[in-house]
Amino acid sequence: MQDLVFIEGLKAQAVIGVYDWEKKIQQDLVFDLEMEHDNRVPAETDDLAKTLDYEAISNYILTFCAERQFELIETLAEHLVGELIGQFKLNAVTLTLRKPGAVPAAQAVGVKIHRKSAVTY
């Protein structure tokens, strides 16, 4: 396993849900990501271009959520991870996606997926 770069508690808004009323509003989502990346080269060079730029990845996720609409968080998670792997050349990523408030008695509900790239970077 390689080193991990993580983003924790990234808050985004999205139109997400199966009910008609959900398709008309923005709802809160919370993302946690763990991305496999060899950090030895960035550590040796102190070069941002050689890292996983977590700000760029965070902004990508926020834009992704703002521009797309899904019924299921499973679908959103799968599409997002596929794009992140391709866009940022990730070897593997674990994504936890929470939808707070979806079940009133629970703090949050969600999904956790782990996907690997077909290509090794």
Domains of the chain with bracketed CATH: 4-116 (3.30.1130.10)
Helix axes 54-67, 73-88, angle to 10 degrees: 140
| Average pLDDT, integer, range 68-80 | 97
Residue corresponding to tokens 């849900």: 17
Residue 24 is given by DSSP the state: G
Catalytic residue flag (residue 11): no
DSSP letters spanning 29-61: EEEEEEEE---HHHHHHT-GGGS--HHHHHHHH
Nearest-5° angle of CA 108, CA 114, CA 116? Answer: 155
pTM higher than the cut 0.85? yes
| Average pLDDT, integer, range 12-24 | 93
- The catalytic position among 11, 24, 50, 99 is 99
Query: Tens of pLDDT along 22-35?
Result: 899 999 999 999 99
